[in-house]
Amino acid sequence: MQPTDANLIDAALEHWPQRVRPYQRGNVLYWQGDPVENLFVIQEGAVKVSSVSSAGKICSHGILGAGRLLGATDYFLDGIHEATAEVIDRALLIAIPPSDFQGLIARDPGFSAAVMRQLAREARVHFSRAQELSFLDAQQRLKQRLIQLADEHGLKTDEGIEIGVSITHKDIGELINANRTTITLCLQELKKLGYIRTQGRRIILIPIGHMNILDQLCEAVVSGGIGEAADWANRAIAEGIDPVTTLNSLLAGMKEVDRRFAQGLMDVNDIMWSSMHMKEALPIVEAAVRHRDISLSHIGRVVFGTVHGDIHDIGKTMVTMLLRARGFEVIDLGVDVSAGRFVEAVEVYRPHILAMSALLTTTQLQMKSVVEALEGAGLRDRVRVMIGGTSTTPRFAREIGADGYAHDARGGVELAWRWCSNPKVGEPGAGSGP
C-alpha cells in the first residue's frame, strides 16, 4: 500500500502523542531565517507558508492542511527555515524535535516513505507553480489555486465544495502573485462565470468536473470543430449544470474570440466560425432555460431587432432567450432592421417594449432614427425603448431619448421586468392597449 498523508499523522501520534498542541489563527510556528527547532505535522487546521523576497515582496508557497509536514526540506538542507509558517485557521499540530524525527526515519521505513512522498509532492507543487506563473494569466492561476485549496481543505456541501479555511484576498494574492485589486476582479469574473459563489470569506466551488465541461464548452466556441460546442452544451445540461452558467461559458468564449481578434491571433473568418459554434449551442441552452422556467406565463411583449446596417445577432439572441425564459413574449425582427420596420412592428404588435441592439459605433446612430420615427408616427408614448450592445452607453440612451439601457442580457431582463411590473399610462399593460 502507498504511504498516505494520514500515515504521517498516525505515525506522529503513535510516537509523540504528548506533543500535540492547539494553535490559534495568527500564531507563528517559525520565521524565515530561524533555525529548525521543530518539525510539525498538521493534525487539523491550516497553516500558511510564505517568504519575503529581498525586495520585500511576499510570496505564499501554500496553505497546508491536515497530514502535511512542515519544515522537513529546511531540516534536510541547512537547518534554517526558508519561509515563515503561520497558523491561519485554528490548528492541532504535532511538534517533532529534529533528533526524534531523524531517529524515526532511520527505524521506520513506512514513516520514511511517507516523508519522501511529502517532499516529492512539495517539489511537484513548486514545479507546477513555476509553470503557472509562466503560462497562465491571473484568473487562470486563481482558478487553479482555488481547485488546489478545495482539494486540500474542501468540504462537500449541497451547493458544491466549500474551501473550509478562512482566507483573505491578501492571502490569495500572495498565493498567485497578484495584487488585491486583481484578485477582486478575478473573483468577480469567476463568480460571473458561475464557477464559484462567495459568502463573506467563504468560497464555494462548483464540482471540478462541471468546471472542466464549461472550460471545454468555452474552448469549443473559440476553436472547436463543427458541432463540438453543441455537444459540450448538451453535456453541460445533461450533467445538471445551471443553463445560465452554461450560457455564461458561451459568452466567455466570444469574449476570448474578441481578445484574440484584437491581438491579431484570429481573423474575421475565424470569428464567423466561432459565431457559428455559438449559434449551434444556443438553442440547446435556450431549451434548458425554458424547461426550467416553464411555469411562467407572459408578463410582457417585446419587439426586438438589431438596427439597420448591423448584422451582429448573438447578443440579441441571448437577451431574447433570457427574456423568454423570464416569461416575456419576444417578437424577433432579426438583423439589419430599418427604422420603418421597427415602427411597423410597434403598430402591429403593440409591444410593451421596443428593444434594439447595435454593436458598431457607426450603426448605433440608427437607434436615434428609430426613436424619431416612432415620434413621427405618434407611437413614442405607447412603448418603452430599451437599447444595448457594446457600443452603447446609458448616456447615449439619454441623448437619443431612449427610456433605458442595459449593459448585458441579465440587466436587460431586470429592466424589462421592472417596466412591466410598473407600466406607463398608455402602454398595453396599463389597460389602454389592444
List of E strands, 97-151: none
Q: Which is nearer to ligand B12, 192 or 424 (CB)?
A: 192
Q: Does residue 417 touch ligand B12 according to CB under 6 A? A: no
Q: Does residue 55 touch ligand B12 according to CB under 6 A? A: no
C-alpha pair distances (Å), 190 with each of 19, 123, 248, 351, 409: 42, 28, 10, 36, 18
Q: Does residue 272 touch ligand B12 according to CB under 6 A? A: yes
Q: Which is nearer to ligand B12, 241 or 247 (CB)?
A: 247
Q: Which is nearer to ligand B12, 13 or 360 (CB)?
A: 360
Q: Does residue 253 touch ligand B12 according to CB under 6 A? A: no
Q: Does residue 178 touch ligand B12 according to CB under 6 A? A: no
Smallest separation, CB 206 to ligand B12 (Å): 21
Q: Which stretch binds ligand B12 (CB under 6 A): 4-12, 148-156, 169-177, 265-273?
A: 265-273
Binding to ligand B12 (CB under 6 A) within 298-327 occurs at 309-316, 318-319
Residue carrying C-alpha cell 519561509: 83
**Which three three-digit cell numbers place residue 128?**
507546477
Task: Give all strands of the β-sheet with 300-306 in edge-to-edge order.
Answer: 328-332, 300-306, 353-357, 384-388, 404-405
- CB of 311 within 8 A of CB of 335? yes
C-alpha pair distances (Å), 353 with each of 286, 322, 342, 423: 21, 15, 11, 10
Whole-angstrom distance, CA of residue 24 vs CA of residue 87? 7
- Which residues lie closer than 8 Å to 399 by C-beta, 6 or more apart? 368
What is the per-residue binding string for ligand B12 in 373-392, x denoting contact by CB under 6 A? -------------xxxxxx-
Q: Which is nearer to ligand B12, 108 or 219 (CB)?
A: 219
Task: Look at residues 363, 357, 217, 345 and name the one whose alpha carbon lies nearest to residue 288.
Answer: 217
Smallest separation, CB 87 to ligand B12 (Å): 44
Q: Does residue 393 touch ligand B12 according to CB under 6 A? A: no
Q: Which is nearer to ligand B12, 234 or 275 (CB)?
A: 275
Out of 13, 244, 360, 379, the only residue in the binding site for ligand B12 (CB under 6 A) is: 360
**Which three three-digit cell numbers place residue 218?**
468555452
C-alpha pair distances (Å), 27 with each of 47, 51, 91, 149: 9, 16, 10, 21
Out of 175, 406, 419, 427, the only residue in the binding site for ligand B12 (CB under 6 A) is: 406
- CB of 156 within 8 A of CB of 204? no
The dihedrals phi and psi of 143, each to the nearest 5 degrees, come to -60, -45
Q: Which is nearer to ligand B12, 212 or 361 (CB)?
A: 361
Q: Which stretch binds ligand B12 (CB under 6 A): 77-85, 213-221, 292-300, 404-412?
A: 404-412
Q: Does residue 354 touch ligand B12 according to CB under 6 A? A: no
Smallest separation, CB 156 to ligand B12 (Å): 32
- CB of 177 within 8 A of CB of 206? no
- CB of 421 within 8 A of CB of 429? no
Size of the site for ligand B12 (CB under 6 A): 35
Q: Is 329 helix (H, G, I), strand (E, B) or coil?
A: strand
Q: Does residue 262 touch ligand B12 according to CB under 6 A? A: yes
Task: Look at residues 349, 354, 365 and name the one whose alpha carbon lies nearest to residue 416.
Answer: 354
Smallest separation, CB 369 to ligand B12 (Å): 16
What is the per-residue binding string for ligand B12 in 89-118, x denoting contact by CB under 6 A? ------------------------------
Q: Does residue 271 touch ligand B12 according to CB under 6 A? A: yes
Q: Which stretch binds ligand B12 (CB under 6 A): 148-156, 222-230, 282-290, 351-359?
A: 351-359
Out of 41, 85, 95, 251, the only residue in the binding site for ligand B12 (CB under 6 A) is: 251
Q: Does residue 223 touch ligand B12 according to CB under 6 A? A: no
**Which three three-digit cell numbers place residue 66?**
491536515
Out of 142, 385, 409, 420, the only residue in the binding site for ligand B12 (CB under 6 A) is: 409
C-alpha pair distances (Å), 123 with each of 102, 394, 401: 21, 52, 62
**Residues at the interface with ligand B12 (CB under 6 A):** 251, 254, 257-258, 261-262, 268, 271-272, 275, 309-316, 318-319, 355, 357, 359-361, 386-391, 406, 408-409, 412
